[in-house]
Every structure is written in structure tokens, then in C-alpha cells.
Structure 1
């Protein structure tokens, strides 16, 4: 008899409304099958990993030799050394037991420091007049420089995760091919081709012409940028910095680039490739990587990532870049191919029904199997977190509750027919703290939705900031905690203009999304009461009032969306839709050049700047 809880599978759960839900034995059985659970097998019999906090008393260990991350060795006789350095070490027991990873973590993430504020931007939407139809990393650099001049200390952006290098470009930044690498759509081509623009002038003109349409045509952008980048790469003769980058990113970059080169030939998902190419360690993949056109195409994708890294570093140098790490990846994408042995087949990640998503949510993402991830020494998780912190002073961890448990939905079942699976949060949080410490970055955990009480307590103890939203908090911003990021809204929720005009609720009705009518009306009433607005109050004044309130929050960090700064009515993403709403595809109605002088944006910035200079109670 298999004990589901021994495998971390929950037979039931309390939903966001407090009601107890049981998925049934069939659903639990399907989840266990996906894990490969068998009667008489203990999941703890796999490869052990010991993650310790250096700010806690160190646990006893078996006698043996500890190989430190830098290659030095230390003899341990039942007790770890008091001066154990941070890092990823290896313990070789004297017994016949196999060596196992020992992760030494600071336990806590870096403090966010003095109160700060910043813009929350959907980078793809934040175009300049020089953009090729989509916001890029040069636009981010300009946005960060402007923000810094206004007194902002951060710029929060959507995930920049890589999509497949194919004709059809995935619009959602939260449905990534790889979270370890970035999307070449965000490259500013002219910065790569500087001094050698022959052949791209016509492509650049066609790209800039796309700015005339508010709806972003990623497929057209990709076609133009690909043509230009291929031409520049053809003239690339090598660079020592490129070689260093490839060495630094190592096997993770090689695996991603190899998948990208194969995807150009065989498309996606990789599960439909010829059988001999479906594993990265196969002889056929090795042959592709070492002969014919394979090496050149692999080098091309490494080269793209090198330039993305350089342009991201330049943007980050303007100060306070805050990256966003999505909760999962596309089952048919690069990470799921490279790290395929750590994922659970036949399962998708989502969220159970709640008051704002009454049908539940199916995000279409495969979950990591917690036991297989541990057996891999957590390397895929380490690479993912490390990439999210690259050139950043802060990290937004999407759906941070996923470090504790994730809602698994078996294929061919509805979003309401899933259950939760537990994860080794102690190990994962220790890794997150270690990587954040090395990056010198604070961490914000997006903890909106169904959250267990102990989760927020554990995150707070780890110095991971919580989320507080004007739409959801019962009290005014003055009552919010310091250890949080405060905001009015997020990309999945209505803008202030959308709430005030009623257009957001109208859109949900039109799309037949079973909206929470009462909750939406209460949201508008709360906005009116909090800002002292009446039906005739102009939307710009309501937005101004909302951010005047937000400025009173004692939170370590507060953010204002560029959508609100331009009084945009449409939210960036409408959960529960695919093609019925232009998800992740609406540019801001004004380019950065006009945003920089927009009166409402400057009013918001002035409200929030004052809190950083003289925080409430200071």
C-alpha cells in the first residue's frame, strides 16, 4: 500500500475560501503514478542532499572528507567545521555510502535596505521610437536611467525567459522554453552591429514601422531581427569575452544552444523529434554537436545569449534591476529537454478555484518531481535561480508558494480536479538564500492566492519579502508590513483605469469568464472610498490618489505600473483566456520618449520619491 503523504501527495486541501476539497483516489493515484511511486519503495532512499544554514547550529554528519567548492578538502569527524564557507560542497563518508552534496547557506536572503520605489514594466510593451516593434534591452537601459533620475531604486520587469527560436513566437513570458536563458527578441540589433550596419538599415526601418500598431507582432519582429542577427553573426570572428562567457555558463548554455539548434530543424515539442534526438546525452545528439552545420548553429545561439547578457548588464548598471522568475517552463522546450529526468510526465501546474478565478487555473506547465529534483542535487533549480539573479539587484519569485507545494493537475482533467504535492522547501530556500547572497540581491516572493499560514512565516524568517496589493488588503497602506513589496495591482489584475471605468469587468463578461461581480464592484467601491473619488472624478485623478495612498506604505519596496502611469484600461494578461484577449501583446499607448514627460507619471514618481526620502514614521 502506497502512503501518498510519504511521497508528498496531499489527499485534500483547504481552498482560498477555506472550504475543504478532496480530489478523490483516482486523481491521487494518477499523481503517484507520475512520480513512479511503487509499493514497498521509500522515496527517501534516493540520493541524499544535506542543506545547512550557517546562521543555525550545524547538524552532526558522518565521518568523512569534505571537498569544498573551491577544491580544498577538510576532514570531518562527526561535526562540520565552524568556519564552513558558503557554497556547494561534497561529503565523502568513510563508509561505503556514496558521496552526496552538502549545501552551506546563509539561511537568509539579503535585506532590501532603505525604502525604495520603482516602476513595474512589461518590457515588451515599453517601446521607444527606435524599437523594432517591441521593447528591448536598450529601452530597459533608458527606462532605468530615467527612473533613477526620478529617485527610483528599482525597475521591475517581466520575465525575459527564452522562447523557441521559431517562426511562431510564444507571447507569454511565463510560458518559457528556458528560464536559464533570455529571449533574443529583446536584443537591440544596432548595439551589436555598431560600426557595421550594412544590410540592416532596411530591416531596421521595417522594424520601427511596426511601432505604428499597438498590438505587438512578435512573429514579424522575430523574422526581422533574425535576418539582421544572422548577417552580423556571419561576420563574427571570435572574441575572448565570448569564450569566457561560454566557459562560465558551461553545460547549461551548451544544452540550451544545442536544443535551439535542433529545434530549428525539427520544431517543437521535442517529444516529437526523431527518437534518437530526444535525450541530450544520446550518441545522435553528440554527433549533431560535432559535425556538419550543428556546431555553427550551436555557436550562433551561444552568441545570441552572450549579447543578451552584455545588454542586460548594461541595463543593470543603471541601477536596481529586478528580474522576475516564472514558476515553470514549457514541457516541449529547452529546459524540459535538458533536465527531462527531473520533471513529472503527464502533469500540469495550476491553481485551484478561488474567488477571482472561479474555474481554477491550468498553466500548462510540467512540475518538477521533488524526488527526482533532489536526486539531481537540485542543479536545475540552482541554474534557474542563478540566471534569474544575473545582473539584478532584486528578484521577484513568481508563485513562491511553489517552493512549499504545487497544485498538480493530471492531463485530461479540469483545473478543479487536481491536488497539492509537497516540495523540500528547506533545501530550496537555502539554495535561494545562497544564490541571492552571492548576487547581493533581495528577494520578493509573490505570495498571492491560496497560501498556508506557515509559508508566510517561513518566508519572513528568511527575509523574503511578501506581496501586498491595494486591491486585496483589508487595511490601508499605512498598516502594511515593512517586509513586503507594496503595489496597487499586478499584470494579472485590473489596472486602476480598468476598475474605475468598469471596462475590465465588461471585458470579463464579454469573454464569459464567470467574473466575481461582487468582488469587482467592491474593488471599485474601495478605490472610490480610499481616494475620496466620485463618479465624475477623472481617471487620472483616481490613479493619482491611489498612488498617493501607496506612498504611505512602510513597505521596503513599492512599485507603480507603467500601465497606471499612462491610465491604460486593459490589463496585460487576462487569466483564463488564450486568443480571446491580447495577452502579453499590448504595447503602452505612448513611447518612452513621451512617458518621460507624461504628467501623471511624474506625479506618481513624486509621491513615491518622497517616501524613499522620508519614510512614514521616520
Structure 2
């Protein structure tokens, strides 16, 4: 941190600082080493500009600050209010001073409720030459959970807003709390079966759930984000940089499981089986995954299945799906069709907005392609639903645990269709820390908090609702982003940004509501530098945290003993951003980082010495507690570390399939791009031999680890 280059900063004036604070933009922050850092005036102005706030001069700042104060008074009702069930809420309604107002509350059920006007006098305020008054109404404290609508009519004006009643906590089944279940974690694309088309798919996920429960008594399977990718090559390899978080990647569809395949003419079925043989030959190879090659073959097959006639009942189900997903699906499918037509070439300017007349005309002209991309989403949705159903039928108490990525590709479908609620000219990242003195720019457009609130958080709700629909649990990557985000303006280095604070009570409340309705457990990935109050708040809302053995250490580097772990967490030895445990124990992560030029001061010798001290500290504890014996081997250490997390009070425990088979290659090396084949590594065992799902639970190493887990839990 102290090695970060000095940046000449224009500091904010008092007027700019006042406006920034009113918009919840930081003017200063504490760096990871405790140093107070001043945010630069250009970074603050850029953040405010992305929110639609003019901060170009001190005079402009003063005008904007007054306009912000006027905004509340200019609205009849707030666009949205999120409140915890049972809490009292006084709703301000603003009218021309002296005018009467009629207020109606309509519940989700359609029932209408009266709202009591309270005797609260607030001095009127002049807004744009008109005196505005405030009437205060009591929101009934006994409202049911849900999205309710409040309407106000006064003087010929009509206002409409949402009142969202969220649960105090995400409820977790007492039986799950009592059982403290464990499950498997996997990057789905990397685990293939004999029937996969070169990458793991949703049928493999269903089989993994069934086998995991039957063969190992696992209660869940955590997978990488299954979000939508590009419709044509080149496809982004990272599942954490999708084109859309609302929809799924058809790359994970199992073609043969689509019902219409059974009714294809025999010649077409034979051709499809022949086409499947090409990618299936790749399943037993240890070579890197090639999504582009797989998708070219799979999409050609899907095109043929799409043309097959559907039964009247199947057509009705497809129609219901399209109606449920509504305009969001239409926009997404339109974006896919336009992207396919242009194949990486620039779009015409008139296609910049999904609401433009040119886009509407193009959609009508290419209705068949738009329908095809909507159909792909229906099929993917059905197969994910089937995977969760397979898990529950097998007896899993949780089933599929899906991962919600931080953001979306800056040139993807969500960035196009949701541009009104995303900050333009801004990227998410992190400020300088001990790992990167320059900070990081993730190239991800963030939510624009003022626009998102004006949209009543509906885009955010729909994203969460879609993620939780077919999941027993939802993992939220970088959950700190629900509280604050590091905004990096375009053209600025990552270290020259500012924190923007979000309404975390509203966002977490919506997550809690949608998760509770879906019966979904929520886990927040709260690793790294997270203020204790954030973890306390998440705990109070029933959202689990995350504990990774290698990160659970005291300030002096000593390992945190398992009994000192937090209780309400998902605990695991490793994560997808670290090498598998066998490689970590062997210090291979140090060698790899050295090869990639990622080591800091001291070079490889210092890093190897530190890694050995860390490893030995864990071994000493495991020897002392009898989890390993003196003549231990690598498998013993892996089993002992899993005993470590199983002995903690953590509610859930995850076991990486890479650890179980003895894999040594990391799925991802943070801080790299083309230097390492991130997200393209198939699962292999310690000898580099590919391991297919069909043989996974018969693999000797896997069986030994699962026996050790069973013994530790008994």
C-alpha cells in the first residue's frame, strides 16, 4: 500500500464536498493500512455526473444541492420505500400547499387499505415558485410481506410509489440449522460427463445433485454463476463477466433432454447424435475447454430442435414463460438477435436504446430470431428447474446453490437494456491494497443508485427473483457491493476513484424478501476488508457470511482455530480464486505467481518461506488435535483441513470437487487476463487424468475423503 505511486490530486472545494456527501459519494476514505486518503475533485465530479448531478463548478454544486432538497418535495409520493415487517412508517406526501389529497394503498393481493393521516405539521417549502406542503400518512404496521402500491391524487396530479415490506430476517429451516449440512462446490463447466458436449451442463448438475446425496450424503451443490453469455463467438470465458445476470447461458443446455428431440425424424436424431460425438470426444481430454467450439456445435443442434413442432401444451408453457418474463425477455432476446446479426461489428447509432423506433422495427422484421433466443431461455430455465427438482427428489435439504456475480459486461445485454439504471462512464473496482498498489478496474458498470431508486428497485428485484427462482441457496459475490462501491471514472487510473454508498437497507431488504418467498438461503461473500458492522448487519438479517480456511487468520498470521469461526457462515478450505488445496499445500501457487511476475518484494524465496510457515502452522494444530498422524501424506492433510472446517460452528460446509480428486490447476488466477487460462481448466486428478462425473464417486481419492468427512460428522 505504501508503495502506491503518488497522484497529484485536486481536492474538492467545500461546495463540492457538501454535494458529494448529500449524494453519498465519499470525499475521503481509510486505506487498507489505516491511512486517511482524500478523493480527488475530478473523481468526485465524475461520480456525481454519472448520477445526473451537475458539479462542474461551485455555483453548479450549490444549485444541484438545492435541487436535491427540492426533489423530495416535488414528488407526490416517494418512488419506493423499503421497510421491515412490523416497523412503523410515516409516509410523506407532498402537495401544493393547502390542497387536499386522496391516498390509497393497494396490496399485492388486490386488497385496498385505508391510510390514516397523522397530525404532523411541517413548514411548507417553495419549489420552482410554488409553495409545497407535506401531509403525513401512517403505513399500517400489519402489512403482509410484498410489493404494495401507494397512489396519491391531488389537484389533478397523480403520484404512484411502492411500499416494500421485507422480513426482518431470511428464515432458515430449523432442521437445516440442526443438521449443519455440507455440500459440494464446483465450477460446473469444468466437470463433464460421458454425455456432456465438451463442458459440464445442467443435466450434469442434476446428476451431480442426485449422486452427491446418494453416494456422499451431500446436501447442496454450489456452482459458478450460470448467467447469460454472448450469443455468438467469441464467448467471454469468465462466468463473473456475463452479458446478463437476469438470464441464463444456453451453453449449459443438454440438447438431448429437450422433449421435442424425441419427436424429430429418425434421420435428424441420428444426425444430432453424430454431431454430439465431436464435443463428447473432448470430455476425456485434459486440454483447455473451448467454449467457442462447443457453442458452435451446440447452437447448430439447438437451431434444428427449435424448428421441431411443439405440442399444444408445450406451446402454452412457452407462452406462459414469455408472459412471465415480459419486456425484459423481449429486450434480451432482441439484443441477442442484433448481436448475432452484427457479429462483433459496431451497431448503428439508432440501435443504442432498446426503446428506439429503429430497434422496434428491427425486432418486428426479425421476429423469428428474437423468438429463438427467447426459446433458448425457456429451455435453460426448464433444465435448471429440473436440476433443483432432482436434488430435492434425491433428498437434498438445500439442493442447487447458485452464484450471483457482481456485475455485467459493459457491452452486454444488461448494459444495453438497463442503461437507465446503470452509471455511464464508470467502472467498478477496488482502491489500492496490499495485493495491488494501483488498485483494480473490473470494467463493470455499477448500479446508479439515484436512478435505481427512481425505478423503485424493480430491475434489482427482478434480477434477485430470477436468481432465486430455482435455487435452494443463493451466494452473492462481493456482498460488500450492496453497501459501498469503488467507482473508477473512465480515463482515470483505478486508484483515482471514490466510494459511492448505496441504500443497503433497501437492497438487503429486497434480497431478504425475494429469498424468503423462494425458500432460498442467502450467503454473502464477505471476504477481504469488510467493516465488522457490515458483517453484524448481514447476520442480523439472516444472511450467512463466508469463511475460507486460508483467510481465517489473526493479525500475526496465526491460523484462527475452528472453534473461533463465526457460526452463521458457509465455511470451506478453498475457493475458486485459489489453487486447489493439494497445490496450495505444495506451494505451487508461489511458483505460479512467480512465473506470472506477480510476486512483490523479496521474490520467490521470501514467498516460499512464508508459504511454508503458513502450512506448518496448520499442520502443527492438526497434529496436536490428532486429525493427522506423524507419517501424514498429502491426502491426510487435505482430509485434516476439511476436519478443521467441519469442527467449526459454521452452519454450512463446502467441499471443492477439485480438492476431492486431487486437482492441482487453479480455475482462476486473480489479477491475470491472458497470462493464465482462467475459467478454462477441466477437472483432472492429481496425475492430470480427466475425471468425469460418471466416475467421480468411485475415484479412490474421492471415496477416502468422503469417508473421512462422514467419520468427522458422526
TM-score range with shorter-chain normalisation?
A: over 0.9
SS state of the match for residue 98, structure 1? strand
Correspondence for 2:148 among 78, 84, 89 = 89
Output the CA distance in 2 between the equivalents of 1:261 and 1:76.
Answer: 47
Contact 1:43–1:371 at 8 Å: present in 2 too? Answer: no
- Inter-partner Cα distance in structure 2 for 1:31 and 1:388: 29
1:404 and 1:423 in contact (8 A); partners too: yes
Does residue 31 in structure 1 map to residue 47 in structure 2?
yes
1:574 is displaced (CA, Å) by 0.6
Question: 2:527, 2:287 → 1: CA distance?
Answer: 30
Between stretches 121-130 and 99-108, larger displacement belongs to 99-108
Shift of 1:60: 4.9
Residue 441 (structure 1) shift: 0.8
Could you tell me which residue of structure 2 aligns to residue 599 of structure 1?
700
With over 3 angstroms needed to count, the CA separation of the structure-2 counterparts of 1:228 and 1:608, relative to structure 1, is same
Deviation (angstroms), 1:535: 11
1:549 alignment partner in structure 2: 644
Using the size of structure 2 for normalisation, the TM-score is 0.82
Are 2:576 and 2:666, in contact at CA under 8 Å, matched by a contact in 1?
Answer: yes
1:124 aligns with 2:163: no
Q: 1:604 to 1:58 in 2, by over 3 A?
A: farther
| Whole-angstrom CA distance in 2 between matches of 1:472 and 1:522 | 15
CA-to-aligned-CA distance 1:347-367 (integer Å, 9 cap, x gap) = 111122333445433221011
Match of 1:174 in 2: 240
Which of 151, 160, 165 lines up with 1:99 in the alignment? 160
Task: Provide the C-alpha distance between the structure 1 equivalents of 2:600 and 2:514, rounded to a whole number of angstroms.
Answer: 40
Match of 1:262 among 323, 338, 343: 338
Correspondence 1:311-350 to 2 at 5 A: 311-317=383-389, 318-319=391-392, 320-350=399-429
Equivalent of residue 57 in structure 1, options 88, 99, 120: 88
Q: CA deviation at 1:105?
A: 1.1
- 1:324 is paired with a residue of what secondary structure? strand
| Conservation of the 8 A alpha-carbon contact between 1:118 and 1:560 | yes
3-state SS of paired residue (1:280): coil
1:560-610 alpha-carbon deviations (Å, 9 max, x no partner): 111111122222111111111110110101111221112332333344446
Does residue 576 of structure 1 match 2:671? Answer: yes
Name 1:136's counterpart in structure 2.
Answer: 201
**SS state of the match for residue 105, structure 2?**
strand
The residue correspondences of 1:52-451 to structure 2 (distance < 5 A) are: 52-60=83-91, 62=93, 64-77=103-116, 78-95=137-154, 96=157, 98-111=159-172, 113-114=176-177, 115-149=180-214, 150-192=216-258, 193-196=261-264, 197-211=269-283, 212-237=285-310, 239-268=315-344, 272-291=346-365, 294-317=366-389, 318-319=391-392, 320-451=399-530
Confirm or deny: 8 A CA contact 1:504 1:570 kept in the other structure.
no
Q: Kindly state the Cα deviation for residue 58 of structure 1 after the two structures are TM-superposed.
A: 3.9
TM superposition shift of 1:237: 3.8
Structure 2 residues without counterparts, runs of 5 or longer? 1-14, 55-60, 73-77, 94-101, 117-136, 393-398, 554-559, 602-606, 685-690
Question: 1 CA distance for matches of 2:402 and 2:569?
Answer: 16
Aligned residue-pair number: 609
The normalised TM-score by structure 1 is 0.94
Distance across 2 between alignment mates of 1:512 and 1:25:
34
Contact 1:551 1:607 in 2 (8 A): no
**Aligned counterpart for 1:20 among listed residues 36, 43, 49:** 36
Who is 1:504 aligned against? 589
Shift of 1:414: 2.8
Indicate if the aligned counterparts of 2:88 and 2:141 stay in contact, CA closer than 8 A.
no
Q: Which moved more, 1:446-455 or 1:431-440?
A: 446-455
Distance (whole Å) between structure 2 residues aligned to residue 534 and residue 483 of structure 1:
31
CA offsets 1:69-107 (integer angstroms, 9 cap, x no match): 233322212222343122111111244562111111113
Distance across 2 between alignment mates of 1:350 and 1:526: 33
Structure 2 Cα separation of the partners of residues 297 and 189 of structure 1? 19
3-state DSSP class of the match of 1:210?
A: helix
Secondary structure class of the residue paired with 2:577: coil
1:481 corresponds in structure 2 to: 566
Offset of residue 409 of structure 1: 1.3
Q: How far apart are 1:183 and its partner, in Å?
A: 0.5
CA contact (8 A) 2:86 2:142 kept: no
2:97 is aligned to none
Query: 1:193-228 deviations in whole A, cap 9, x for unaligned?
Result: 235324212210001022224310000000000111
CA distance in 2, matches of 1:554, 1:608: 15
**SS, match of residue 79 in structure 1:** strand
Which residue does the alignment assign to 2:4? none
Deviation for aligned residue 1:541: 1.9
Pair 268,13 (structure 1): closer, same or farther in 2 beyond 3 Å: farther
Q: Secondary structure at the match of 2:474?
A: strand
Name the CA distance, whole Å, in 1 between partners of 2:52 and 2:89: 33
**Which sits farther off after the overlay, 396-405 or 414-423?**
414-423
The Cα offsets for residues 304-345 of structure 1, whole Å up to 9 and x where unpaired, read as 111111111111111311100001001110111111111111
User: Compared with structure 1, are the counterparts of its residues 205 and 52 closer, same or farther at alpha carbon in structure 2 (3 Å cutoff)?
Assistant: same
Which whole-Å deviations, capped at 9, do the CAs of 1:389-447 have from their partners, x for residues lacking one?
Answer: 12111000110011110111122333323221100111111110110011001100001
Distance 1:164 1:503, change over 3 A: same
Q: Distance in 2 between matches of 1:414 and 1:535?
A: 51
CA contact (8 A) 2:237 2:680 kept: yes
Aligned match for 2:576, one of 470, 491, 502: 491
Provide the C-alpha distance between the structure 1 equivalents of 2:574 and 2:530, rounded to a whole number of angstroms: 18
Q: Deviation per CA, 1:516-575, whole angstroms, max 9, x where unpaired?
A: 837645543333334337998532222111112121111111101111111222221111
> Could you tell me how far apart the structure 1 residues matched to 2:497 and 2:637 are?
40
The alignment's C-alpha RMSD in Å is 2.1
Post-superposition CA distance 1:91-125 (Å, at most 9, x none): 11244562111111113212263211100110000
Aligned to 2:556: none
